[in-house]
Structure 1
Amino acid sequence: MLTHPNFDPVALALGPVKVHWYGLMYLAGFYGAWWLGTRRARQPHINWPREQVTDLLFYIVMGVILGGRIGYTLFYNFDRFLAEPLVILRMWEGGMSFHGGLLGVVVAYFWFARVKNRNVFDIADFAAPLVPMGLLTGRIGNFINGELYGAPTQMPWGMVFPAASPEPRHPSMLYEAGLEGLAMLIILWWFSRNPRPRMAVSGLFLVLYGVFRSLVELVRLPDAHIGYLYGTTWFTMGMQLCVPMLLVGGAMLLLAYRRPVAREG
């Protein structure tokens, strides 16, 4: 049995100004994605001007922040939104949704495609291997905060979290960091090192995330005010939101390899 280190969530306090580890993890993720993007832009089969990497990252950051907050409010806190519509603006209260952030990023892709006159799927294929860096650092931020822990377990790596009961639990945020972050980063980077049909890289991203997130949801506790869905003891809102990702990602892969389409870049 392990014990959570109970980190101080504040990394640096300068008078009334407090810098939280969670925010620093977001910054680390964005910087890591930018660094990977500059390396990816140099790959010979990628037709991507390096100077556009920073522009694209700005659009992605806006999509993640706005989409993540809006998605969390609508997917996980809809009753409160109906009672207090302005809660959607209270970002300081916390609450971000990956699936909402993904939808925000998709909107950002279309916006960027229109501004730069590029194919939206080329943008998605270029960016897909960069996104897991943000997922990795974000889940590490969850671990530092001691949040999003899983169900009780007797596994030797079970961990006691300060905000939970004294029984050991699955450190599910670390599972997500390993699967949705590190594993996806390695797989997608390897897969995209060679030319692939348009939509293949982004389609694989959707499938991988849908599978990995659904697996972790089996041991991750659902939000207390939502619980498990449809009278089950295992099907969560996270799983439900992954179903469209799996269907769309699978369809994109099928289309990519069944008809002659332009290569990514």
Structure 2
Amino acid sequence: MLAYPDIDPVIFAVGPLAVRWYGLMYVLGFTASYFLVRRQAKQFGWQQLLEQLDNLNLALIVGVILGGRIGYVLFYNLTYYLVHPIEVFATWQGGMSFHGGVIGVLIAGLLFCRRTQLDFWKAADVYVVTVPIGLGLGRIGNFMNGELYGRTTEAAWGMIFPLGGSLPRHPSQLYEALLEGLLLFLILWPLRAKPWQNSLKRLWPHGSLLALFLIFYGIFRYLIEFFREPDPQIGLLFFDMSMGQLLCAAMLCAGIVLYWLRRKHQPTVSR
């Protein structure tokens, strides 16, 4: 068994204002995404995106926050919030859904791109290859907070989390940081230029990287859910699957369908 490191979730506090590691991780993730998206826009000569980058980022941040919160309410705790509707707005108490955030950010991006005449599928690919950085850092933040820990285990690397009882548990946050963060980035980032190459557009149409993200994230998160502690208010559902696994199965199917549709509507490149 490994000892859980004694980490203070608060980096420093000035009066009632506290700066936390978890929040810092998200700031670092958004910052890395901003600069990498900007780098790609310059690399591919997409001046229109450079001109709209700040406004688009703001719209996406709003979308991910609203989508994450609404998704948590609908997917994970609807019964409670139907009884306590005012607490839907109590975001400081925690409760965000990654899958809801994905839906929210896609809707926000689609609406913004339609309004500004940006190509949504190009923008989606440029952004999505940077997303794993924020995901990995966010899971490290979860680990530092001692939250979203795994199921009990007898493995040598099990840890006793402060809020997880007296039995060692899987550090599933670190599993997610490695798979959903590092590995997913290593898969997507090297592919970033393929949709921009005319000779490869049949196989790699714009939108295909978004599809790959949905597919691989769905697979990785589905597998990790076997080690992650299910939400206590829900437990396991159909066929002993967690809510996360059900949502990931839907995400995987959506990615496959999206890739098929994007290839189907991609004109054949003349040779």
- Shorter-chain TM-score category? over 0.9
> Is 1:255 paired with 2:261?
yes
Distance between the aligned counterparts of 1:110 and 1:34, measured in 2?
18
Q: How many residues align?
A: 261
Deviation of the 1:130 alpha carbon: 1.7
Which of 245, 262, 266 is the aligned partner of 1:239? 245
Residue 200 (structure 2) aligns with: none
Structure 1: tracts of 5 or more residues without a match = none
Tell me whether 1:200 sits opposite 2:226 in the alignment.
no
Range that drifts further, 15-24 or 141-150: 15-24
2:161–2:168 Cα contact (<8 Å) kept: yes
Per the TM alignment, residue 183 of structure 1 is displaced from its structure 2 partner at its CA by 1.1
1:49-68 aligned at under 5 Å gives the runs 49-68=49-68
User: Could you say if the C-alpha distance between residues 45 and 260 of structure 1 is closer, same or farther in structure 2, counting changes exceeding 3 Å?
Assistant: farther
Q: After TM superposition, list the pairs within 5 Å mapping 1:161-172 onto structure 2.
A: 161-172=161-172
1:144 equivalent in structure 2:
144
Paired residues of 1:3 and 1:159 also in contact (CA < 8 A):
yes
Contact 1:198/1:261 (8 A) holds in 2: no
Match for residue 8 of structure 1? Answer: 8
Equivalence for 2:235: 227
Q: CA deviation at 1:48?
A: 5.4
Is 2:176 aligned against 1:176?
A: yes
What residue is the counterpart of 1:31 in the other structure? 31
- The CA deviation at 1:24 is 1.2
Q: Tell me if the contact between 1:197 and 1:261 (Cα under 8 Å) persists in the aligned partners.
A: no
CA distance in structure 1 between the aligned counterparts of 2:104 and 2:268, rounded to whole angstroms: 25
Q: Which digits, 9 at most, give the CA deviation of each residue in 1:189-243, with x for residues without a partner?
A: 11223233122111001001100100100110110110000362xx100011112
- Residue 156 of structure 1 deviates from its aligned partner by 2.2
Structure 1 counterpart of 2:110: 110
Larger CA deviation: 140-149 vs 35-44: 35-44
> Any stretches of 5+ residues in structure 2 without a counterpart?
196-203
Q: Please, what is the CA RMSD of the aligned residues?
A: 1.9
The TM-score, its normalising length taken from structure 1, stands at: 0.92
TM-score by length of 2: 0.90
Change in 2 beyond 3 A, CA 1:178/1:45: farther
Moved more, 82-91 or 114-123: 114-123
- Paired with 1:262 and 1:159, the residues of 2 have a C-alpha distance of 54
